Amino acid sequence: MATAAETARQGETETIRRRWLLSAPALVIIFVAAVGPLFVMLAYSFMARGDYGDVKFGQFSLDGWFSVFFQRDIFDDTVTLADAHLSILWRSLRLSLITTVLTLILGFPTAYFIATRPRHTREIWVFLVTIPFWTNLLIRTFAMQQVIRNEGVINTLLRALGIIDQPLQIMYTDWAILFGMVYVYLPLMVLPLYASMEKLDFRLIEAGYDLYAGRLSVLWRIVIPLVKPGVIAGSILVFIPSLGAYVIPRVLGGGKNLMLGNLIEMQFGSGRNWPLGAAISITLMVLVMVALLFYVRNASKSGAQHG
Amino acid sequence: MAKRHFDIKAQPGFAFLAMFTFAALYLPIATLVAYAFNASDSVSIWGGFSLKWFVEAWNNSAVQDAAWRSLVVAFFAAAIATTAATMAAIATTRTEPYRGLSFKYAFINQPLMVPEIVTAVALLIVFSRIKVWTGYSGLGYLIIAHTAFCIPFAYLPIRARLESMDLTLERAAADLYATPWMAFRRVTLPLLRPGIIAGFMLAFVISLDDVVITEFVKSGGQDTLPTYMLGQIRRTVTPEVNAIATAFLALSVVLVTAFFFINRQKT
């Protein structure tokens, strides 16, 4: 007969098995259609490119990785930095950073405004931010296109006011991408900021004023340090999708002003260089991981500070 | 003279910037919707109110196909994702931390961590080979790809719901000689229902909205509504695209509003 301890252990093994069985469908699906393919792509980045796209299966080559950063002259074999790729990398980083700063400048006051409304109206304001957030990204990009087109709202308005004669060419420039990304990712900044401002203890602000602090120093020395986790979370949530943006630069940048996402697509389309595309994809993923690690480190630090 | 009231919460310029933000969030959408009702052929000149572009879009067989395909993919992806996420949520909540738990969290949330374009080309690589090997090029690829990235979204509200649930009810059921399955079926599942519905709706909207992964995974002639629109936007823009976008928008708003209310409703 089994002892009580044995029965307990058996029950435990049973529980463990049941838990894995229950999680299995989710884990298997994600493995098959998300995690697994990433490993295949990693392998592809180390293979020789096929003549008509795809790769020469099993044929090891470092050409893909080499051409992410360098190019070889076809005539004299001299190796130079791949300016085209590096300038696209630089544009992606620069535009993502500017987008993050601009969404912060607009999002911070907005979140603060919502957090200081009476309790029953706050939900409505939050809801107003949530609606665009859940609206299809492509539709929002398209909506921005209608505003900044040559015959769009901005140009029509400026011409009607007599400020300009010729339409401002905003479409197909970096400005268009910037407008689009700020517009599309703004809710991603406001929502986490609001989440941390909602918990703000306004007695601390009152105490600040009692101690003769001005408005600016209350903001700078009380509010901002307290909502720092929200600022970091919002910035990461905006920066990461901006870096990997594909639809926005494709629609608004018009094929000339590429970002990393479009460069990747090109290698799988007209470029017919899958190993290079795979290598750039992994580079992009590493950049995102670095940003996430930065976030995790900062989040745990500021978490520890507040107990 | 009475001293002016000093509002400690106010910051100069903040209300103005907030109003600017809300205007900026809605002005482009409003423009898009307005031109959907434009009688003129162009998206620049206002020719009076008309529903003709909605009628045109409705009768366009390419739009009908794409819309139907979007709904089919979203329905199956959301249904499978919600089932898998519910099971996973039961296995990962309300327990002491155990070996493999944080691995499961990381794995389930993985689709959120990787840029969509990266997952999209990785899927293109794998699926294009499988398509050649098996000769099958149906909607299955789109459904499984969508299911994978829908799982973390379905998982979120279900897990939240489970964590706020009262364990004693299930224990009471067990005390009354309910088998574990009966306790689950008659106690846990009904209590979990709002979470499951919310998870399904979230997954449905996420699948419906997807552009990037669909664009790379779809076989020829498998446009969904978003990829169809992407193709149209690149060509000449007529108010027909506005009409499609407006209808799509209306559907999203309805779903999100419903989600908002379901999620707010307490036990």
Q: Looking at CA atoms only, how far is residue B171 from chain A in angstroms? A: 16
- Selecting from B20, B28, B216 the residue whose C-beta is nearest the C-beta of A143 gives B28
Write out pLDDT tens, residues B212-229: 999 999 998 999 999 999
Write out pLDDT tens, residues A216-246: 888 889 899 999 989 999 999 999 999 999 9
Burial (CB < 10 A; 0-12, 13-18, 19+), residue A53, is middle
User: Which of A76-85, A104-113, A176-185, B104-113 is least confident?
Assistant: A76-85
Report the alpha-carbon distance of residue B96 to residue A26 in Å, rounded: 21
Same-domain status, A228 and A146 = yes
Instruction: State chain B's mean pLDDT as an integer.
Output: 89
Q: Using the predicted structure, report yes or no on whether residue B45 has a pLDDT greater than 80.
A: no
Same-domain status, A12 and A159 = no
Same-domain status, A105 and A247 = yes
Domain boundary among A80, A96, A121: A80
Same-domain status, A51 and A160 = no
- Selecting from A127, A143, A205 the residue whose C-beta is nearest the C-beta of B32 gives A143
Same-domain status, A72 and A220 = no
The more confidently predicted of residues A75 and A139 is A139
B61-264, which class in CATH?
Answer: mainly alpha
Q: What is the pLDDT of residue B127?
A: 96
- Please tell me which residue of chain A has the smallest CA distance to B246: A139
Q: ipTM for the complex?
A: 0.90
Quote the percentage of chain B above a pLDDT of 70. 96
A143 touching chain B per CB within 8 A: yes
Same-domain status, A203 and A68 = no
Write out pLDDT tens, residues B222-259: 999 999 999 988 776 778 899 999 999 999 889 888 88
Tell me, what CATH number does A258's domain have? 1.10.3720.10
Same-domain status, A73 and A115 = no
Q: Once rounded to an integer, what is the mean pLDDT over residues A124-134?
A: 91
Mutation target among A138, A209, A248, A272 for the B interface, most CBs of B within 10 A:
A138
Total of domains in chain A = 2
C-beta atoms of B122 and A38 within 8 A: yes
Report the alpha-carbon distance of residue B89 to residue B105 in Å, rounded: 10
- Contacts with B145 from chain A: Cβ below 8 Å: 33
Domain boundary among A31, A60, A80: A80
Structure tokens at A260: 């990393």
Q: Looking at CA atoms only, how far is residue B108 from chain A in angstroms? A: 7
A191 touching chain B per CB within 8 A: no
- Selecting from B17, B26, B209 the residue whose C-beta is nearest the C-beta of A109 gives B17
C-beta atoms of B125 and A140 within 8 A: no
Same-domain status, A212 and A266 = yes
Q: What is the pLDDT of residue B187?
A: 87
C-beta atoms of A143 and B212 within 8 A: no
CA-wise closest residue to A279 among A13, A59, A41 = A41
- Selecting from A25, A41, A135 the residue whose C-beta is nearest the C-beta of B252 gives A135
- Contacts with A246 from chain B: Cβ below 8 Å: 116-117, 120, 212
Quickly tell me which residue has 């899958």 as its tokens. A274
- Contacts with A14 from chain B: Cβ below 8 Å: none
- Contacts with B125 from chain A: Cβ below 8 Å: 37, 40-41, 44, 274, 278
Same-domain status, A93 and A36 = no
Q: Looking at CA atoms only, how far is residue A50 from chain B in angstroms? A: 13
Q: What is the pLDDT of residue B236?
A: 66
Expressed as residue numbers, the domain containing A23 is 4-80
Report the alpha-carbon distance of residue A245 to residue A240 in Å, rounded: 9
Instruction: State chain A's mean pLDDT as an integer.
Output: 89
Domain boundary among A65, A80, A95: A80
Are A60 and A46 a contacting pair, CB within 8 Å? yes
- Contacts with A127 from chain B: Cβ below 8 Å: 260
Same-domain status, A118 and A196 = yes
Same-domain status, A11 and A154 = no
Q: Taken in order B267, A133, B120, A182, is the CA torsion positive or negative?
A: negative
Band of the pLDDT at B173, cuts 50, 70, 90? confident
Report the alpha-carbon distance of residue A98 to residue B78 in Å, rounded: 35
Band of the pLDDT at B267, cuts 50, 70, 90? very low
Q: What is the pLDDT of residue B1?
A: 46
Q: Using the predicted structure, report yes or no on whether residue B125 has a pLDDT greater than 60.
A: yes
Write out pLDDT tens, residues A24-70: 999 999 999 999 999 999 999 999 998 887 888 888 988 889 988 88
Same-domain status, A151 and A49 = no
The phi, psi pair for B60, rounded to 5°, reads -80, 115
Size of interface A-B (CB pairs under 8 A): 249
Quote the percentage of chain A above a pLDDT of 90. 54
A142 touching chain B per CB within 8 A: yes
